[in-house]
C-alpha cells in the first residue's frame, strides 16, 4: 500500500580504498592535485602535501565559508572547488598556474591555427569574388565605352553573379532599342533626303521649259489658238509653282491654285468626261501647308480611278476646320482601291516587272506629311459607298502657321 511512513533504514557503505584510488587518478600534473575534505575540515582523500605554501593556501580555503569556495588564486597556485551539501564534503583541485597555462598552449595553438586558416580561406574567397566583380565591372565599362563606336551593336555577355546578369540583360535590351531608334532616325533622314532629291529632279527639267512655254503661248494667241494658249499658260503656271523659291511651306490657297491649273489641263484632255468640284472656304486658305501635296492625290484619282471608266468621272476637293484639325479630302467616283493596294502605295513598293518605280508620288506625299505633322496626319484611304475612293488628311491646327 502507498504510504509515507518509514519502513526501515538504508545504509550506504563507501569503500575508502576505492575512493582513494579514484581521487589519486584524478590528480594530474597538468591540472593539479585533487582533494576531498569532510565537514570538520578533515582531509578525507587526496595526497599528503609537504609544500608549506600549498598547505597554507588550503588552510585558507578550509577556513572560508562553504558558499565562497569556487575559484581562488594565491601567487603561483590556483584552486577550484565546490561544496557538496548532501555529503558535506569540499572538493578541491590545487594546481600551479604555470602548469595549467602550459597545458592550454596546445589548445591556444590549435585555436590560432584554425583562426589563421579561416582568415586565409575567407581572404581567398573574398579576393576571388571581388576579382570576379571587378572584372565584370571593367568589362561592362569597356563595352559601354565602345557602344557609340560600335553603333550600339555589341552586347554584354555575363554568365556569373545574378545581379550582373540582370544588369547585362537590361543593358542589352537598352542598346537593342537604341539601335532600332538610330536606324529609324537614319531611315527617316534618308527618306527625307530622297524626297528632296526627287522633288529637285522634278524641278530641273521644267526649269528651262516655262519660259519657252510662255513664248509658245504668245504665239498661239497671235494665231487665235485661244484654247492652246490657255493650256500652255496653265502648264507654265504649274512649272513656276514647281520651281518656286525653294520654300517648303506655302499658303493652302496657292496649293489649291496649282491643283486647279492641273485640273484645267486635264479638263481640256477629257472634256465632258471629267467634272471637278473644289469646295474650300476662305477661312482656311491662309493656313500654311507643305508644298505640292494636293496635286499628286488628284492625279492618282484621275489616272487610276476614273480614266479607265467609260462614264463621266467626278473629282471633289474639300477642306474644313473640324475639332481643331484641318481636314482635307480628295474623292472620286472611280473603281475604288483595296487594302493591299493601299499598303503597297504607302510602303513605296510600287515597282513593275522591269524594276521601274511608278505611283511614288503618293508615297512621297505620305512620308512628308508624317515627318512634318506626325503619324496621325498620314494619308487615309477608304472606299466610298457609291463607288470610288476617298483620301483624307487630318492636320492639327496648332501645327499650322497662318499668314496675316
Count of domains for the chain: 2
CA 78, CA 73: separation in Å to the nearest integer? 4
- Name the grid cell of 298: 488628284
CA 47, CA 23: separation in Å to the nearest integer? 9
Mean pLDDT of 351-376: 79
Mean pLDDT of 327-332: 96
CA 327, CA 325: separation in Å to the nearest integer? 6
| CATH code where residue 91 lies | 3.30.450.50
Among 69, 103, 137, where does a domain finish? Answer: 103
* Structural domain includes residue 169: no
CA 196, CA 218: separation in Å to the nearest integer? 33
Mean pLDDT of 42-46: 70
Q: Of the given ranges (118-122, 174-178, 351-355), which has the lowest mean pLDDT? A: 351-355
Among 70, 103, 136, where does a domain finish? Answer: 103
CA 366, CA 361: separation in Å to the nearest integer? 9
Return the SS3 of 134. Answer: helix
* Structural domain includes residue 319: yes
Out of 146-150, 212-216, 389-393, give the one with best mean pLDDT. 389-393
DSSP string, 250-303: EEHHHHHHHHHHHHHHHHHHHGGGEEEEEE--GGGTTEEEESS-SHHHHHHHII
Which pLDDT value is given to residue 67? Answer: 46
* Structural domain includes residue 188: no
Q: Of the given ranges (46-55, 97-106, 256-265), which has the lowest mean pLDDT? A: 46-55
* Structural domain includes residue 245: no
* Structural domain includes residue 215: no
Which pLDDT value is given to residue 356? Answer: 57
Indicate whether 45 pLDDT > 60. Answer: yes
Strand partners, 93: 34, 80
* Structural domain includes residue 329: yes
Which pLDDT value is given to residue 376? Answer: 93
- Name the grid cell of 155: 552586347
Strand partners, 146: none
* Structural domain includes residue 327: yes
Confidence bin at 361 (pLDDT 50/70/90): confident
Query: Angle of helix 360-373 relative to helix 339-347, nearest 10 degrees?
Result: 70
Among 50, 81, 103, where does a domain finish? Answer: 103
Instruction: Provide the domain limits for residue 341.
Output: 272-402
Question: Which of 200-238 are b and which e, b meaning 16 or more Cβ less than 10 Å from the residue's Cβ?
Answer: eeeeeebeeebeebeebbeebeeeeeeebbbbbbbbbbb
Confidence bin at 240 (pLDDT 50/70/90): confident
CA 276, CA 264: separation in Å to the nearest integer? 9
Amino acid at each position: 500500500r502507498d504510504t509515507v511512513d518509514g519502513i526501515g533504514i538504508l545504509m550506504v557503505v563507501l569503500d575508502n580504498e576505492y575512493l582513494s584510488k579514484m581521487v589519486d587518478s584524478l590528480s594530474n600534473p597538468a591540472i593539479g592535485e585533487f582533494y576531498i575534505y569532510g565537514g570538520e575540515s578533515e582531509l578525507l582523500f587526496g595526497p599528503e602535501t609537504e609544500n608549506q605554501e600549498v598547505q597554507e593556501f588550503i588552510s585558507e580555503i578550509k577556513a572560508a565559508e562553504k558558499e565562497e569556495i569556487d575559484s581562488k588564486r594565491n601567487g603561483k597556485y590556483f584552486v577550484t572547488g565546490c561544496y557538496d551539501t548532501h555529503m558535506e564534503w569540499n572538493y578541491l583541485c590545487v594546481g600551479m598556474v604555470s602548469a595549467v597555462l602550459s597545458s592550454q598552449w596546445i589548445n591556444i595553438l590549435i585555436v590560432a591555427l584554425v583562426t589563421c586558416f579561416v582568415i586565409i580561406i575567407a581572404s581567398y574567397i573574398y579576393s576571388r569574388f571581388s576579382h570576379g566583380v571587378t572584372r565584370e565591372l571593367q568589362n561592362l565599362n569597356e563595352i559601354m565605352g565602345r557602344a557609340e563606336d560600335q553603333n550600339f551593336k555589341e552586347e554584354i555577355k555575363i554568365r556569373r553573379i545574378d545581379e550582373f546578369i540582370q544588369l547585362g540583360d537590361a543593358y542589352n535590351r537598352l542598346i537593342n532599342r537604341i539601335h532600332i531608334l538610330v536606324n529609324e532616325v537614319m531611315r527617316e533622314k534618308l527618306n527625307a533626303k530622297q524626297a528632296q532629291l526627287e522633288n529637285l529632279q522634278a524641278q530641273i527639267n521644267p526649269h528651262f521649259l516655262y519660259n519657252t512655254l510662255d513664248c509658245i503661248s504668245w504665239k498661239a494667241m497671235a494665231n487665235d489658238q485661244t484654247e492652246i494658249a490657255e493650256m500652255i499658260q496653265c502648264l507654265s503656271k504649274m512649272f513656276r509653282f514647281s520651281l518656286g523659291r525653294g520654300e517648303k511651306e506655302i499658303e493652302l490657297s496657292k496649293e489649291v491654285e496649282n491643283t486647279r491649273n492641273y485640273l484645267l489641263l486635264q479638263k481640256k484632255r477629257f472634256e465632258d468626261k471629267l467634272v471637278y468640284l473644289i469646295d474650300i472656304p476662305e477661312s482656311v486658305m491662309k493656313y500654311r501647308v507643305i508644298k505640292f501635296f494636293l496635286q499628286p492625290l488628284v492625279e492618282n484619282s484621275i489616272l487610276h480611278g476614273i480614266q479607265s471608266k467609260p462614264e463621266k468621272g467626278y473629282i471633289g476637293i474639300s477642306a474644313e476646320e473640324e475639332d481643331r484639325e484641318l481636314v482635307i479630302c480628295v474623292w472620286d467616283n472611280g473603281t475604288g482601291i483595296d487594302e493591299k493596294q493601299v499598303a503597297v502605295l504607302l510602303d513605296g513598293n510600287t515597282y513593275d516587272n522591269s524594276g521601274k518605280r511608278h505611283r511614288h508620288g503618293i508615297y512621297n506625299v505620305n512620308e512628308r506629311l508624317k515627318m512634318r505633322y506626325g503619324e496621325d496626319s498620314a494619308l487615309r484611304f477608304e472606299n466610298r459607298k457609291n463607288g470610288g475612293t476617298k483620301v483624307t488628311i487630318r492636320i492639327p491646327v496648332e501645327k499650322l502657321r497662318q499668314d496675316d
